[in-house]
Amino acid sequence: MPGFMRAAITCIVCVCFYYNTSASAEQNSITLSLDQAVEQALLNNPDLSALKERTLALADIPEQQGALPDPQLTFRASNLPVDTFAIDQEPMTQMQIALSQALPFPGKLSLRQQVADLESRAANFGFEEKRLLLVQDVKTVWWNIYYLDRALETVERNQELFRQLNTITQTKYKVGKGLQQEVLMAQLELTKLLDNKISLTNMRRNEAIRLNTLIAQPAETVLLLPQLKEEEFPEVPDLSQLLDQAQSSSPMIQDLSNKAEAAKTKVELAEKKYYPDFMAGATYGYRAGENPDGSERADFATFSVTLNLPFFNQTEKKRAISQSKHEALQQSETLISAENIVQGRVTTAYSDYKKSQEEMELLGSGIIPLAKQTLESMMAGYQVNKVDFLNLVGAQTSLYNYETRYWKSYSSANQALARLAAAIGREAISE
Q: Where are the domains of the chain?
A: 30-67+107-274+314-423, 69-103+276-309
| Identity at 31, one-letter amino acid code | T
Sheet with 72-78, strands from edge to edge, namely 72-78, 94-103, 278-286, 300-307
| Identity at 40, one-letter amino acid code | Q
Helix segments in 218-366, DSSP class H: 239-249, 251-271, 314-362
First to last CA, the chain: 63
Query: What is the Cα–Cα distance from 216 to 210, expressed in whole angstroms?
Result: 10
pLDDT at 239: 93
Per the CB < 8 A criterion, the answer to whether 178 and 169 are in contact is yes
Query: What is the Cα–Cα distance from 304 to 283, expressed in whole angstroms?
Result: 8
The model's pLDDT over 125-182, given as tens digits with 9 standing for 90+, comes to: 999 999 999 999 999 999 999 999 999 998 888 878 777 776 766 666 565 665 666 6
Strands 222-224 and 94-103, sheet pairing: unpaired
- Mean pLDDT (whole number) for 220-243: 86
Query: What is the Cα–Cα distance from 210 to 155, expressed in whole angstroms?
Result: 24
The topology (CATH level 3) of 30-67+107-274+314-423 is Outer membrane efflux proteins (OEP) (1.20.1600)
For 193, counting Cβ atoms within 10 Å of its Cβ (0-12 exposed, 13-18 middle, 19+ buried), the class is: buried
Query: What is the Cα–Cα distance from 356 to 358, expressed in whole angstroms?
Result: 6
- Mean pLDDT (whole number) for 245-253: 93
- Mean pLDDT (whole number) for 82-103: 92
pTM: 0.81
Angle between helices 389-423 and 180-214 (to 10 degrees): 10
- Mean pLDDT (whole number) for 301-323: 90
Q: Is 156 helix (H, G, I), strand (E, B) or coil?
A: helix
